Structure 1
């Protein structure tokens, strides 16, 4: 969303100046905005209309209803789409491509094995959770889940009696928190672009939030599990994965294990995607010799360090042109992508890298379009003048709008089931008030992300993947996923509120 100063300097953005639309009462603007959002939710949930089409229709209705006219409504929608693509289009593409290549190289499985060896099984929920929530967030969520879940499931018995409960909860919390708080998670990139938050700043603030959120949330859920919240007999169901686990064991003849096709297409896909976790020890050792783990992740870590360094230079107002250039997010992630391609090509071959890139392009397409139409709705909301109206309501407080955007994102997520969609929509609705009341947009982005985590349930594909791949019953998944991620949502907003008093 565009700050007031930027809107004033660029008339093409149609940011809701009084002469851009026919005068309308504040109540009418609020009612029409509510109707547009509720209509989009109804189209998605009740009539199963694609979210992209639903958001565009809502934007068209809102523009026409508040008096922008046909021409200005269309310009606002297309301008909002184009503006956010300028900000984050390449960033999302580069991040997803890096993740796809790392996935193909087997780096994720090896990292989890290294964490287990280094920190031991009892600390595994925390170490694996932090790894997934931070350094692995360049990877598309479902891909990361399918690859890491079989390892988490097999390592769960090493933790003890509550191993399945703790690992499932850690996985759910880390996956969902990482995607909205941690750069280059796709939702965090979208929120940063939507609210014009410098990516380096989003990276620093996101890390400050995601690390304590993951640790505290896992600790709270572990406390509840140890006091009877988990019932192994009713909350665990290993039927789906029992045969797969036995098939994944190393064969007695020393050959690599394979998972045969099954009638269940979803199971077959998950099993085949996760198959590297069950390969032979010989294969794992050979991969380690060919490509050290630190070498595989070095390009990604380098790009994140460059972004962080650029942000620090900006905050401290230090002039270092060469580092500022390398710290520009697009340049930093491009360096990371090129480095990842070169490193993994030596490890797995050019053909595998090309296959990974093809998958990455396929995965990034839907994310880019959804992010873009989220920007269209946000631009239309701004053009309707909602920022001035809400700015007056919240002029005496910076806490209230954070709670409101959290609540809106939470309600949208319960209805729609999409973390990214609910976060983008909620942030877009309240983005206009940030400059009006002096609220740092990064706090609004984090609050929208936190709210979008509330109540991950049966409308979410992630819920069913965690339920099936980690050996849980639906009842168990409602505890580990729905309750666990909701706890993280509340913990996050409780951490964000004091941050708003400091920054």
Structure 2
């Protein structure tokens, strides 16, 4: 009976979001309340459980996502993203322009949300296509693949970071494993897959986007841009390596863990970005603060959706569903990694939103971690990979890709949807391979 109620709850979530077009956060809260009441929780504890889930999840996430948005906005508004991309394209040359855009998407994607990074880099894709006389998708897919991979696999992005919080996984370890999986995945889904798309000869849509092009003197140096953009990855990566190599109880390990904590890594990155991309470029602190402030509005709804997923997770725990699932799964041979991927994939296909799919899955499969002994970091990546599969017409990212690349729906499915599926399946394969060696 408990699982039937959860299944009904998921069905209601689909109905609210797909049928009635209700916002993901409101839908998740309503479903959380329904599941809590239907599972027999005392009414005086229902709201407290929902509040506890939202607060417990956002207590950590609000800082990470907020700081990440600030860094992304500073990179965009300073011309750093343009500098990184144009320099790499110049260095790689026409023959290797795909790899230049892949690296650009990977570096920029670390600090930015998918949609922001896509809209920021698409004018550069258009410019490269025109100057090098190359097909639009051949050039653009590697960039899009890199942005999608960083969004699904790598902290400090909201999805993997939020799931790590719920699963109790070490975020630095998630990042380390995520990079190991991301590199082969983005190569296959980007440059290799895009070679099959040359038949789609498309011109950039006219009048759709009028980007701001920075002048040479307006942009920071390439070294400054790369240094600033990679600080979060370096600090969190150092923390993961330090925890594997340094002895417990030593000051060095404690220090590395402190500065590599996602909150501290992002705060340090914001402070450095304010100087390298702002003050050092002659900008006034007032102008820098305007850029920082404007970034927050773009993440408000993402934070609320993550909080809604946390509410559902907490309700499943407090109502006893978690223990029921754990007991039931104790006798099964299905890998919890595969199961997490499969549930996230099904929800992604139904809901469209990768974030909602991942957060809902996290609440459902959380009990399996303790009973199965599954590695929490790999569970994060399996869930993230599943949440990316076959984006289609119910996903806003599908329509963004379609319009900017001037495609039909069928062409978008053959390119974007298949690219996302490759990333998802490669992610699962990578998780299972790593799991064999740890």
Distance, in Å, in 2 between the alignment partners of 1:368 and 1:485 is 23
Shift of 1:354: 2.4
Match of residue 147, structure 1, among 92, 116, 120? 120
Any idea what SS the aligned residue of 2:111 has? coil
Q: How does 1:314-463 map to 2 (within 5 A)?
A: 314-318=243-247, 319=250, 320=252, 321-345=254-278, 346-347=280-281, 349-350=283-284, 351-395=286-330, 400-463=335-398
Question: How many residues in Structure 1 have an aligned counterpart in Structure 2?
Answer: 432
Q: Report whether the alignment pairs 1:469 with 2:404.
A: yes
Q: Deviations over 1:177-216 (max 9, x none)?
A: 2111112222122222222222211211111111111012
Are 2:67 and 1:94 aligned?
Answer: yes
* Deviation by residue 1:108-135 (Cα, 9 ceiling, x = unmatched): 1111111111222332223322432345
- Give the root-mean-square deviation of aligned CA atoms: 2.2
Match of 1:193 in 2: 165
TM-score for both structures, normalised by structure 1: 0.81
Comparing 134-143 with 188-197, which one deviates more in the overlay?
Answer: 134-143
Task: Give 1:179's aligned residue.
Answer: 151
1:287 paired with 2:259, answer no
**Unaligned segments of structure 1, at least 5 residues:** 1-27, 245-266
- The 1:411–1:105 alpha-carbon spacing in structure 2 relative to 1, beyond 3 Å, is same
- Structure 1 Cα separation of the partners of residues 283 and 3 of structure 2: 56
Q: CA deviation at 1:393?
A: 4.3
Inter-partner Cα distance in structure 1 for 2:38 and 2:157: 35
Which structure 2 residue ranges, 5 or more long, are not aligned?
none
Judged with a 3 Å threshold, the aligned counterparts in structure 2 of structure 1 residues 53 and 376 are, in CA distance, closer, same or farther, namely same
Task: Work out the CA distance in 2 between the residues paired with 1:92 and 1:209.
Answer: 23
Per mean C-alpha deviation after superposition, the further-off stretch among 397-406 and 303-312 is 397-406
Determine the structure 1 residue equivalent to 2:212. Answer: 275
Structure-2 separation of matches of 1:446 and 1:498: 12
For 2:237 and 2:104, locate their aligned partners in 1 and report how far apart those are by CA, in whole Å.
18
Q: 1:409 deviation in Å?
A: 1.5
Structure with greater Cα Rg: 1
Partners of 2:109 and 2:203 in 1: how far apart? 28
CA contact 2:110–2:229 (8 Å) conserved in 1: no
For the residue of structure 1 that corresponds to 2:298, the secondary structure is helix
The CA distance in 2 between the partners of 1:294 and 1:80, in whole Å, is 42
In the superposition, relative to structure 1, how do residues 237 and 433 fare at CA in structure 2: closer, same or farther (>3 Å)?
same
Q: Cα distance 1:397–1:115, how it changes in 2: closer, same or farther (>3 A)?
A: farther
1:57-76 superposed matches below 5 A? 57-76=30-49
- 1:148-205 deviations in whole A, cap 9, x for unaligned? 01111221356665x3222232233222221111122221222222222222112111
Equivalent pair of 1:168/1:480 in contact (CA under 8 Å): no
Rounded to whole Å, the distance in 2 between the matches of 1:449 and 1:222 is 23
What's 2:181 paired with? 209
User: Does residue 34 of structure 1 match 2:7?
Assistant: yes
**2-structure distance, mates of 1:335, 1:361:** 18
| 1:166 to 1:98, Cα distance in 2 relative to 1, 3 A | same
